[in-house]
A and B are shown apart, each in its own frame.
Chain A
Amino acid sequence: MKRIRPFRYVEAFTVREALEILAEEKEGAYPLAGGTDLLVRMKRGDLAPRALVNLKRIPGLDGIDAGAGGDIRIGALAPIAAIVDAPLFSAGQRVLAEAAGVLGSPAIRNLGTLGGNIGRASPACDMAPSLMVLQARVLVEGLRGKREIGIGEFFKGPGSTVLDPGELIISFLLPSPASGTGAAYERVGRREGMDCALVGVAASVTLSGNDRELKDARVTLAAVAPVPLQARRAEEVLLSGPLTEARIGEAARAAAADCFPISDMRASGAYRREMVRVLTCRAVARALRSAEGGKD
C-alpha cells in the first residue's frame, strides 16, 4: 500500500480562513483541491507538506455560472467532469469542454479540478490552450486582496505561476466570444486515456459579416515549451488573407517552427514539432467549420 506521511489537516470554510491558515503555515502548507496531482507527489516523496488546507468545504468555489457582463464564471474547484457537461457554454466556448473530455480518465475527471489543473502549471496541461484562445481571466485572492490575471500571463515555467505565496485561484472568467467564433482542441498522447498530452493545440477562428470575413484567429500550444504557448506568428499568417488550405498549412508550419519541444521517454522533439504542424492544421480547419456554422 502506498502511504502518505502524516500531516496536519485543516478544513477552511471561507476563502479568508484558508488564506490565513496558508499564511500562518508559510511554505509548509498546501491547499487541497481534487488531490489528483498533490497526493501523487506526496506518495512519490516529492513533497512532504506539514499541513493540507482542504478548500472543498468553502461554499460556492465549485460552481459554473453566468457571471457579470456576460462572462461565464468557473469556480476553481469545479471538477473537470462538470466542465465536460457544462450546459452554459456557447459554441465558441465548447472547446473548453472538449479539452476537459480528454483529460485523464473519467475517474480522474470526477476528482480533478480546473483550479488544480491550472495552478499546477504543467507544460502539458490540457486545459490551458483552450482557456488561452478563449482569453480567460484568472481571479485570484490573497490576504492583500483580489486581482485578475490574463491566462496568457499566468504561467512562469514548469510548475511555476505568477501567484504570490499564499494566494489562491478563486475562479476563471470566460468572456463571451464574438458571434461567428468557432474553436477546437486537438491533442495526441501515446494512448487515448490516462496519458498526458504529447502535444495539445487549441485554435479559434472568428468570422463576421455577410461575407464571412476573418476577424480573429488564435492558436495556442501545450507540451512544447516550458509554458503553454501562444503561436503568434501562426496567428499572423492566418490573419493575412482568406483561410485557404494553403494558408492554414503555412500557419501550421509557423507554429511548428516557433515552439520548443523537448525529447523525453514519451516522444522525440522532432515528433512533437511535426505533431504541432499536423494538429494546428486540424484544429484550425475544425474551428473554421464550426465558425461557418457546421456541426464541428
Chain B
Amino acid sequence: MKIPICLVVNGERHELEAGPQETLVEILRERLHLTGTKEGCGIGDCGTCIVLMDGVPVNSCLVLAGDLQGRQVLTIEGLDEDGKLHPLQESFLEKGAVQCGFCTPAMILSAKSLLDRDPAAGEEEIKRALSGSLCRCGSYKKIVEAVQAAGEKMGGKRQ
C-alpha cells in the first residue's frame, strides 16, 4: 500500500508515494537525500531528528507519511540563504557550540523556532526551548551562548 503525498521541504515542492509506515525522517534522508537530519533513538526521546513542520519543532521520527500532506518542512539544509549562513549557524561556529555535530541540526532548528518568535529570549527560555534535544558531548553551555548571540544578531535586545 502506497499513499500519495505532496509536501514542501525547504521551499521546494515534492510529490511522492510513500508507505504509510514511513516516517518523516526516513522520507527526508532516504527519498529526498537530505541527510542533515539525523536519527538518534528513533522513539522521540533524544530529539536529534527535530525539524520544523509548519514552523514548529516536531520529532521527525514520530510523524507518519499520512500526516505530511500539504505540510511545510524546514530542515537544516534549508536554513542558509544563497550560501549565506543563518545567524544561528554563524553563532554556533563562532562560539564553538559544535563538538561531534550530531545534535546540531535539531538544536539550531528548535532555537530558530524560538528566536523567530522572540529574538530576545533569555537563558531560561532558551534552555526550555532546547530541552527536547540531548547533546551527549555536553556542549549545552556553548549552545545556549550561541543561541543568545544569534538572538542579538536577529534584533533581540536584552534588558
Q: Footprint of B on A, CB under 8 Å?
A: 1-9, 11, 32, 35-36, 39-40, 43-44, 52, 54, 56, 81, 104-108, 110-111, 192-194
Q: Are B132 and A4 in contact (CB under 8 A)?
A: no
Chain B residues near A4: list those with CB within 8 A.
21-23, 64
Contact of B20 among A9, A36, A56, A106 (CB under 8 A): A9
Chain B residues near A104: list those with CB within 8 A.
132
CA distance in complex: A40, B110 (Å): 21
List 5 A-B residue pairs with CB atoms under 8 Å apart, sorted by A's residue number. A40-B43, A106-B113, A108-B59, A192-B131, A194-B47
Q: Which residue of B lies closest to A111 (CB)?
A: B58
CB distance from B6 to the nearest CB of A (A): 15
Contact of B45 among A1, A52, A111, A194 (CB under 8 A): A194
Q: Are B21 and A32 in contact (CB under 8 A)?
A: no
Contact of B63 among A2, A35, A105, A106 (CB under 8 A): A35
Q: Are A56 and B26 in contact (CB under 8 A)?
A: no
Chain B residues near A6: list those with CB within 8 A.
1, 19-21
CB distance from A194 to the nearest CB of B (A): 6
Q: Which among B22, B25, B67, B133 has the highest number of chain A CB atoms within 10 Å? A: B67
Number of interface residues, chain B, beta carbon within 8 A: 38
In B47-99, which residues have CB < 8 Å from any A CB?
Answer: 47, 50, 53, 56-59, 61-64, 66-67
7 cross-chain pairs, A with B, having the tightest CB-CB distances, nearest first: A105-B132, A193-B131, A2-B42, A9-B20, A4-B21, A107-B57, A40-B43
Q: Which residue of A lies closest to B49 (CB)?
A: A107
Chain B residues near A110: list those with CB within 8 A.
53, 56-58
CA distance in complex: A56, B66 (Å): 10
CA distance in complex: A11, B65 (Å): 12
CA distance in complex: A108, B45 (Å): 9
Chain B residues near A3: list those with CB within 8 A.
21, 26
Q: Are A106 and B42 in contact (CB under 8 A)?
A: no
Chain B residues near A11: list those with CB within 8 A.
66
CB distance from B48 to the nearest CB of A (A): 11
Q: Are A40 and B131 in contact (CB under 8 A)?
A: no
B3 within 8 Å of A by Cβ?
yes
Q: Are B42 and A1 in contact (CB under 8 A)?
A: yes
Q: Which residue of B lies closest to A41 (CB)?
A: B43
Q: Tell me the total A-B contact number using a CB cutoff of 8 A.
A: 102
Q: Are A1 and B26 in contact (CB under 8 A)?
A: yes
Chain A residues near B67: list those with CB within 8 A.
35, 54, 56
B128 within 8 Å of A by Cβ?
yes
Q: Which residue of A lies closest to B53 (CB)?
A: A110
B8 within 8 Å of A by Cβ?
no
B44 within 8 Å of A by Cβ?
yes
Q: Which among A5, A9, A43, A107 has the highest number of chain B CB atoms within 10 Å? A: A107
Given contacts A9-B3, A39-B44, A56-B67, 14 further A-B contacts (CB under 8 A): A4-B64, A7-B20, A9-B1, A9-B64, A36-B44, A40-B62, A52-B20, A81-B56, A105-B47, A106-B110, A107-B47, A107-B58, A108-B44, A193-B131
In B4-42, which residues have CB < 8 Å from any A CB?
Answer: 19-23, 25-26, 29-30, 39, 41-42
Q: Are A111 and B66 in contact (CB under 8 A)?
A: no
Chain B residues near A111: list those with CB within 8 A.
58-59, 62-63
CB distance from B63 to the nearest CB of A (A): 7
CA distance in complex: A108, B63 (Å): 11
Knowing A35-B63, A106-B110, A111-B58, the reply to whether A8 touches B42 (Cβ < 8 A) is no
In B105-159, which residues have CB < 8 Å from any A CB?
Answer: 110, 113, 128-129, 131-134
Q: Are A2 and B21 in contact (CB under 8 A)?
A: no
Chain A residues near B134: list those with CB within 8 A.
194
